[in-house]
Chains A and B, each alone.
Chain A
């Protein structure tokens, strides 16, 4: 797997890009280079994603990784660290700086037998590729009546909370979720980083893989070998957790519905509420498209109250879609209108202002308090 690399020179290079805090990026890099021992170990989501790509490339020579700075540097977030060294420059390589070119070339490669896994350097820098994504990635299968499949993954580091400058913190998932023909995944846990990226790469349909960049450096105890075994079992059984939401925390009084970067915030809110004697269930949506109505509705029917949490602007967004779906399915079980805690409808703010914008534990608890609790 990915060899240990010296991180010092790379930290300098990252600093030179001016894109992200180099300290955090290099922390992720050193974490990504931790030992390979089997059994449970503490790793970052960065490492889980990196391992997922490495395992997929090992398993199938048609899996290719390319994008901007993903080769020698290993990506500005180091998610592709070591892949070029391990698999060669034909299978992991840097492209010219052209996002439409990256996506469009991936379409052609997928048409011709490859499974490209491509990286958009940042959420807002994927916009030049929007036409390719919407007009071709999403529509090719339908246009050709299923004769052309595009098994490709577009990885997008997204959302804020990292003190990033403008164009580095957009929550762009709603644009893609609104587009028929795209699957949209977003992991919130380290284990799901591995699990869901493997599933995305296995998918015969194109997947927008939205990686919450503030969770790249989140750590958890995971057993990579167990995850590998789980993946292998799913492949041989033709089953998986694909398209399913997860109950991240059990509860009885109200349901917090969150995804990606908002899941840890929702969990923190639920922990705080528990101290006040309120039992909140937390649903991690995981797959925005397809959406797991079953799991979400079951939870809301059980608790009778719901708050949807998302970093993206609330207007015409994934969060509004979730509220609409829950209302359509659970109206008679609801004790109160569904509340939302989302980003304000303003351009993503500058670093010193982002904490006003982001959904916070307090704002979530306030919304929960508003759910018309009698007595």
Chain B
């Protein structure tokens, strides 16, 4: 592991090479996008939406694009691969909720209704890029290739994390709101120091944007000019609290300009638009444009978790209105209309989704024995003398318990 250049000769007065002054940045933006730096950083006046809720493609001029905010439609292969994940994601959400109802999983914060965001967040990245998800982003984690059962370990209750973050380049689903955004910044910073072109996508919710670490992460990413995409799923609620109680900014994407980064709004139930916006964000970040903030407008169709009662704070009619904007029916209609999806394709994808559901049912139905000694195994690289004592105490307790059970059985 080395940091590329030898910096010992560098004098104190030299500016960081990436440290552009305002005018430099402005002229760079003007050269590249033909607009002012403010117009580049401020989101386009309307959210980017390519496919309307009925599944019809919006006319070219009505997709929300503006000069410097242009989004070509993703290719058919990408759309079809994403659609497949979308269907699988919905099946995963509903299967997991069922497993909670059956008592086979402790809790599940479902992303039902937000699957387009989940899939796009994972698919816009390439191998070597990192994803930092929250508790609600299990579908994104699986879409990045993490084994579904490993991903669900955290909610089954046998350990606080089920997969190897380093192997998958996916952080453990994070619960303390927005703390993971700073980890994303650090991963990107380390990669940049080594001269790697890694892009990091970090996810959070609308309510989480009020947290201090949200601010610190965006500011650090901007100041150090790091390739991080902050992807906010604005699903309108933080448990029971609506967005209007979190922020009175014109939009969450508008917060970007305050940090000196570009922000954009996108229809979070339009998979086509999401892929277009995130693909471009990843491309810009990889090219060295610094961080970006993308706000996706979506809706949490179900309660916060199974333990929550959403009827206490919102009307059924509001939920019903969002039903009509479902990301899957919209995408199915769009792809069907374009002749990309026929009955055979639909059946194949449904079968795949069913396969994953079966995997989850079987994997989470299994009684996995837990090893109590794991309590002590991973606190430090090497257990301290105190942990060794405590592990011996527990082992002794269990041994005595086992032998008295044996006695009783005789």
- Residue numbers of A with Cβ under 8 A of B are 61-62, 64, 72, 84-91, 95-96, 98, 100-101, 103-114, 128, 131-132, 135-136, 139-149, 180-181, 183, 204-205, 243, 289-294
Contact = CB atoms under 8 A, between A and B. Distances in A.
B220 A147 contact: no
A85 B215 CA distance: 30
Instruction: List the 3 closest pairs (A to B, CB-CB), nearest first.
Output: A108-B186, A88-B7, A104-B182
Residue among A86, A290, A291 with max Cβ neighbours from chain B (10 Å) = A290
B220 A90 contact: no
Contact of A91 (B7, B166, B172): B7
A243 to B, nearest CB: 7
B2 A105 contact: no
B182 A107 contact: yes
Nearest to A112: B190
A170 B190 CA distance: 32
Interface residues of B, number: 54
A136 B179 CA distance: 8
Given A104-B213, A143-B161, A149-B381, A96 B183 contact: no
Contacts of B3: 61-62, 90-91
Contacts of B16: 89-90
B349 to A, nearest CB: 33
Residue among A101, A106, A114, A149 with max Cβ neighbours from chain B (10 Å) = A101
Contacts of A146: 377-378, 381
B148 to A, nearest CB: 18
B191 A112 contact: yes
Contact of B166 (A61, A106, A147, A181): A147
A135 B179 contact: yes
A296 B238 CA distance: 51
B1 interface: yes
B378 A111 contact: no
Contact of A289 (B8, B377, B384): B384
A112 B187 contact: yes
A146 B253 CA distance: 37
A177 to B, nearest CB: 11
Contact of A141 (B7, B159, B220, B380): B380
Residue among B6, B181, B380, B386 with max Cβ neighbours from chain A (10 Å) = B380
Contacts of B184: 108
B220 A96 contact: yes
13 contacts: A85-B12, A89-B16, A90-B193, A100-B179, A100-B182, A105-B186, A109-B186, A141-B380, A142-B379, A143-B172, A144-B378, A146-B378, A148-B164
A132 B378 CA distance: 19
A237 to B, nearest CB: 16
B198 to A, nearest CB: 8
A108 B189 contact: yes
Interface in B42-64: none
A255 B374 CA distance: 37
A104 B190 contact: no
Interface in B82-132: 130
Interface in B146-205: 159-161, 164-167, 171-172, 176, 179, 181-191, 193-194
Contact of A205 (B12, B164, B217, B380): B380
B21 interface: no
B216 interface: yes
Contact of B172 (A72, A84, A105, A144): A144
B216 A100 contact: yes
Contacts of B160: 139, 142-143
Contacts of B407: none
Contacts of A143: 159-161, 172
Nearest to B175: A135
A64 B193 CA distance: 10
B182 A105 contact: yes
B219 interface: yes
A292 to B, nearest CB: 8
B183 A108 contact: yes
B186 A107 contact: yes
Contacts of A109: 186-187, 189-190
Given A96-B223, A144-B172, A147-B166, A290 B385 contact: yes
B370 to A, nearest CB: 12
A110 B179 contact: no
Contact of A144 (B8, B11, B164, B213): B164
A85 to B, nearest CB: 6
Contact of A111 (B12, B187, B194): B187
B14 interface: yes
Contacts of A107: 182-183, 186
A105 B165 contact: no
Interface in B212-239: 212-213, 215-217, 219-220, 223
Contacts of B194: 113
Contacts of B1: 61-62, 113
Nearest to B6: A88
Nearest to B4: A90
B10 interface: yes
Nearest to B192: A90
A290 B384 contact: yes
Residue among B166, B171, B183, B193 with max Cβ neighbours from chain A (10 Å) = B183
Contacts of B187: 108-109, 111-112
Nearest to B375: A142
Given A61-B1, A88-B8, A108-B188, A204 B220 contact: no
Given A108-B185, A144-B164, A147-B166, 9 more contacts: A87-B8, A90-B193, A103-B182, A105-B182, A105-B186, A108-B182, A111-B190, A112-B191, A143-B161
Contacts of A103: 182
A143 B374 CA distance: 11
Interface string B66-93: 0000000000000000000000000000
Nearest to A149: B381
